Amino acid sequence: MKKLIGNLLYGQSGGPTSVINASAYGVIKESLENQDVIKEVLMMKHGIKGALNEEFILISKQDEENIELLKHSPGSAFGSVRYKMADYKEDDTDYVRLLYIFQEYNIRYFLYNGGNDSMDTCDRISEYMKHVGYEVRVIGVPKTIDNDLPFTDHTPGYGSAAKYIINTIMEISYDMLAYPKGKVTIVEIMGRHAGWLTAASAVATKSGFGPDLIYLPEVPFSVEKFKKDVEKVYSKKSQCLVAVSEGLSNDEGIFLSSSSALKDAFGHFQLGGVSSKLAQIVNNEMRISSRNVELGTTQRSAAHLQSLTDVNEAISVGRTAVKYALKGESGVMVTIERVSTNPYKATCGKQPLNKIANKEKTIPKSMINKDGNFVTDEFIDYVMPLIQGENTPVYYDGVQHFSKMKNGIGSKK
C-alpha cells in the first residue's frame, strides 16, 4: 500500500458524551505517532460547519497539558454541531465547498466522531469524494451515551453515562431510606427510543440501593399497569423508587412527554416531562406523596465520574480509526466487538458506514423481564464490564481542570 501523505481532519458532531474528547485524544496520539504520513492534525471547530467555514483548531499549536486534559474534559472540546448534509445528487453546494477545503488543506484523512446522524454525514462525504475522484480516507468514530448504534457491542460514552446514573441513583435511594415512610420517587433518565441508560439503573438495585421498578421505551407504557406496580411495592415498603426513560410512549406510540398523551383523573392534560407527569398521577390519583428527579445534562457531561473502561475504549476507538485509515480503509465506522464477558475482553472492528447510518439499536426482549418493569440478569451481565474502573478527575484547588485549546471553545473567555 502506497503511503497517502497529507493532513488529517477530525470533527465532533451531535450531543456530547463525557468521553468523546478521549476519542479525540486517541486520534491525536495515533496521528502524532505517524508523522511521516500525517503531517498536521486539524480539528473542525463545531463539526462540519467549522470545516465549511474554514475554522480549524491546529494540534501543532497546542501544548501537551491541554491534550492530556482531553481525557478528563466533558462536552465537545472542539465544538459540536447538528447539521444534516443534503443529498449531493440534489444539492452539492456543501460538497463542492468541502472538496475545495480538502484540496486547499491537503486533507487526506477525514474522521468524524458522532452517532447515527453523523455516520450519515460521514457516509455522504465518503461517497461524494469517491464520486469526484478525490483521494481521502473517511472513517467514522462512534459515540453516543444512548448506546443505540447498531453493529457494535456498545458505544463509547455509554459506559460512563451508565456509571454516573447507577451511582447517582444509589445515592438517591440511600437518601430516601432516611425516612421510615417515604415517597414515591420517580427518576427520569435520558433515552428517547432506546432504554439502555435507564436499564443500567438496575445495577444499583443489585448493589442493594436502587429502583424497584424500571420502565423502558421498548415496552409500551400503561398508566394502569404502572399504578398497580407502584401500589404493590409501596404497600410493602412504604416507599418506591422508579426509574423511567424520557422516551416512554403509550401503546399508540405517543410519547408520554407530549402534552396530549396523558390526562389526569380530572381530564386535565399533565404538564412537564415524563417523571413530572407520573409524579402528578401518583400524587393526585393514588394519593401518595411523590416527587420527581430529572438527571438532566449531567448524564452526558459528568467528567468527574467516568468509567475507566469507557475512557480507554474511547481512546482505543480513536486510535483504531487512524490505524484503519493508514491501512487504506475508508467508508467504515470503527466498532467494538466483545470477545468474552467473563473475563471481559473486547477488540475493535469495522462496519460499512451505510449499514450504520440512521439506524437504532434497542434493548432485545431477552434483557427485559416478563412484567416489562425491570431487566433480566442477561442485561446486568452485558453492562457490568462497561462501568468498571474509575478515571480519577484532575482537580486543581478542589475544582476540575478542563482542556482549553488555543482557538478552541471557551478560549476567548
Write down the least CB distance from residue 268 to a second copy, Å.
12
DSSP for 10-78 reads EEE-SS--TTHHHHHHHHHHHHHTTTTTEEEEEEETTHHHHHHTT-EEEGGGS-HHHHHGGGG--S-TT
Q: 15 or 195: whose CB is closer to a second copy? A: 15
343 near a second copy, rule: CB under 8 A = no
Residues 6+ apart with CB under 8 A from 23: 113, 141, 143, 156, 314, 315, 317, 318, 321
237 CB-side CA count, 13 A? 19
Among 6, 11, 26, 79, binds a second copy (CB under 8 A): 79
Q: Which of 11, 74, 115, 372 binds a second copy (CB under 8 A)?
A: 74
Binding flag, residue 67, a second copy (CB under 8 A): no
Least distance (Å) between residue 296 CB and a second copy = 5
Show the binding pattern over residues 187-216: x = contacts a second copy (CB under 8 A), - = does not: ----------------xx--xxx-------
Catalytic residue among 94, 120, 123, 146: 146
Q: Nearest-5° angle of CA 343, CA 24, CA 302?
A: 70
Query: Of 175, 285, 377, 378, which one interacts with a second copy (CB under 8 A)?
Result: 175
Q: Would you call 146 a catalytic residue per the annotation? A: yes
Question: Smallest distance from the beta carbon of 175 to a second copy, in angstroms?
Answer: 4
End-to-end CA distance of the chain: 46
Rounded distance between C-alpha atoms, residue 409 and residue 413, angstroms: 9
Q: Which residues, 351 to 390, sit near a second copy by CB under 8 A?
A: 384, 387-390
Mark out the alpha helices in 337-376 (DSSP H runs). Answer: 353-356
Cβ neighbours of residue 327 under 8 Å, at least 6 residues apart? 1
State which of positions 111-170 bind a second copy (CB under 8 A): 163, 166-168, 170
Taking alpha carbons only, the member of 383, 373, 64 closest to residue 232 is: 373
Minimum distance of a second copy from residue 338's CB (angstroms): 17
How many residues lie near a second copy (CB under 8 A)? 64
Q: Does 238 bind a second copy (CB under 8 A)?
A: no
Stretch that binds a second copy, among 27-35, 110-118, 218-226, 289-297 (CB under 8 A): 289-297
Residue 116 C-beta: closest distance to a second copy, Å = 18
In whole angstroms, give the CA distance from residue 228 to residue 77.
46
Contact between 66 and a second copy per CB under 8 A: no
Q: Which residues contact 146 (CB under 8 A, 6 or more apart)?
A: 115, 155, 158, 190, 191, 192, 194, 196, 197
Q: Specify burial of residue 130 (Cβ count, 10 A radius: 0-12, 13-18, 19+).
A: middle
DSSP 3-state of 267: coil
User: Which residue's CB is nearer to a second copy, number 253 or number 398?
Assistant: 398
CB of 289 to a second copy, least distance (A): 13
Binder of a second copy out of 8, 27, 51, 81 (CB under 8 A): 81
Largest CA distance in the chain: 73
Residues 30-59 that bind a second copy (CB under 8 A): 46, 49
Among 304, 329, 338, 369, binds a second copy (CB under 8 A): 304
Quote the CA–CA distance of 318 and 174 in Å, as a whole number.
Answer: 38
Report which DSSP code applies to 271: P
Residues classed as catalytic: 146
Residues that bind a second copy (CB under 8 A): 12, 16, 46, 49, 73-76, 79-82, 163, 166-168, 170-172, 174-180, 203-204, 207-209, 271-272, 293-294, 296-298, 300-305, 307, 384, 387-390, 392-393, 395-402, 404, 409-410, 413
